[in-house]
Amino acid sequence: MFSTKRALAAVAVVTGAALALAGCAGTSEPASSFDPNEKVTLNFTWWGNDDRAARYDALIAAFNEEYPNITINGQFTDFPSYWEKRQTEAAGGGLPDVWQFSDSYLRQYGEPGYVLDLATVADYIDFDTFDEALLGTGQLNGTQYSLPTGYSAWANFVNDDLIAANDLTAPEGGTSFEDFTAWMKSVTDATGGKVYGGTDVTQRIQTFELVLRADGKNLYTEDGKLGFTEDELKAFWESGAAARDGITVPQNKLEEITPKSGFGGNLTASETSWSNFLGGYLADSGASSISLIAPPTAKQGSKDLYRQAGLQMAISADTEHPEAAAIFLDYVVNSEKAGEIFGTTLGFPASSSKLAGAVLEGADKQVADYLDSVADRIGDAPPVPVVGYGALEQKFWDLGKALGLGAITVDDAVKQFFDEANVVLQG
């Protein structure tokens, strides 16, 4: 991990220049070595909730004990508002010095040069604590633009309290989609709709991704194109028709409790999502026990799961303090203190040094055990997401909800998605 002694000896070689409004790549120029006595202020921002904010506040306080000369101005907002603000800042050259990043936006911010090449501040960051696959989640065309805070895998959450209270049989992990739909039907039928078996899994692009990966494909290609056809998307959404017909929780009921999910609102006995959502689901549902099991698969024995390291940290290319920004980024992704404070809430710790500080007990240990349980199903990470992937993911979800409301046909949903994709990918 980065040390104060190392900071005194290190000399950074470049810093990103300010970017033009058009978004052209930044140039580099010589930078002076880091002065540990210079008073520096960094702007740092993230998306999340009050719990995440409290953890970051604690981490910043711990960081300032070691680096009292580096002041961190922290701000946070919800996920959609976060990226709207970043787009505005990028156009005006005012991105934060350090910011919580996502691999979904790697092309969008990396290709035009909005984020710093971390190799230019390599003396201040320990990369050896990450394995190559996890480092790759923050790389584009061989350049390291960001580092992951942790990783997750797609999982199926089961509310043990609802299972016990309604004398139900818990589902098995890793079944076929057909068998899982049959289990959801048994729950809905047994409770008379008091508790539904689950939410329509075809609403989420991640489920479609599992189906594609089981067949050796991905959502997108290495050159930034969609990796599937209209017919494949049509078949996928049509496969959810039976579940939407009285088996899964009706979409209108979900609209009534938003922003909680059906699972968080105790309307469903199961829900699929990323493994690091366990803490949030426990808080939302009030359940005393939630199990994590493997999600359904389209092909037994396939490597359809992967370690998703979407939550990352990046530095603005036009920061005036690249060395100090790198020191803080290293602290967030590598320090044992970060592991102690965050546990698995930013994903299972991606670096060995951060993991060393994490106390894996309770929900954190449960997430760790789940990741171990699906290790044989983990395949290679998918290609870097296409530019605009975040918008396409939301469009997919919105269309899935519209299908659940009966407001649109599958054919129309497919057309609307590809129309949107054509605009986004050509933009």
Q: From the DSSP assignment, how many helices (H) and strands (E) are in the chain? A: 18, 14
CA 400 centroid distance within chain: 20
Within 275-421, strands assigned E span: 290-293, 311-315, 348-349
Q: State the Cα–Cα distance between residues 138 and 381, nearest whole angstrom.
A: 11
DSSP state of 350: -
**Alpha-helical segments (H) within 67-126:** 79-92, 106-110
The token pair that represents 230 in the structure block: 């209209």
pLDDT for residue 280: 84
Global confidence as pTM: 0.81
Which residue do the tokens 């309290």 mark?
A: 161
Alpha helices in 3-78 (DSSP H): 4-9, 50-66
List the alpha helices (DSSP H) in 204-312: 205-214, 230-239, 241-244, 251-257, 278-285
Q: Tell me the C-alpha distance between 394 and 247, whole Å.
A: 24
Copy the structure tokens of residue 270. Answer: 């199961």
Closest by alpha carbon to 324, among 73, 152, 85?
Answer: 73
pLDDT value at position 213?
98
Cα 373 from Cα 369, distance rounded (Å):
6
Helix (H, G, I), strand (E, B) or coil at 28: strand
The pLDDT score that the predictor gives to residue 427 is 61
Distance from chain centroid for Cα 102 = 7
- In which residue are the tokens 């000369």 written? 69
Cβ-based neighbours of 287, under 8 Å, separated by 6 or more: 159, 160, 161, 162, 266, 281
State how far Cα 107 lies from the chain centre.
15
In this structure, which amino acid lies at residue 313?
Answer: M
For residues 282 and 363, give the distance between their C-alpha atoms in angstroms, rounded to a whole number. 9
- CA distance linking residue 138 with residue 134, whole number of Å: 8
According to DSSP, the β-strands at 290-293 and 348-349 are: unpaired
Place of tokens 């710790």: 349
Which of 271, 240, 266 has the alpha carbon at shortest distance from 253? 266
Segments of the chain with pLDDT less than 50: 1-31
Burial class (CB in 10 A: 0-12, 13-18, 19+), 253: middle
- The per-residue pLDDT for range 75-103, each reduced to its tens digit, is 999 887 899 899 999 998 899 999 999 98
Tell me how far apart the alpha carbons of residues 353 and 334 are, in angstroms, rounded to a whole number: 6
Q: What is the DSSP string of 11-35?
A: ----EEPPPPTT-PPPPEE--PPP-
Closest CA to 120 of 44, 26, 184, 47: 26
List the structure tokens of 283.
């808080």
The single-letter DSSP state of residue 14 is -
Whether 123 contacts 10, CB under 8 Å: yes
Q: Measure the CA–CA gap between 417 and 245, rounded to whole angstroms.
A: 23
Contact 379, 303 (CB under 8 A): yes
CB count, 10 Å around CB of 44?
Answer: 21
Which tokens in the block code for residue 39? 């008073």
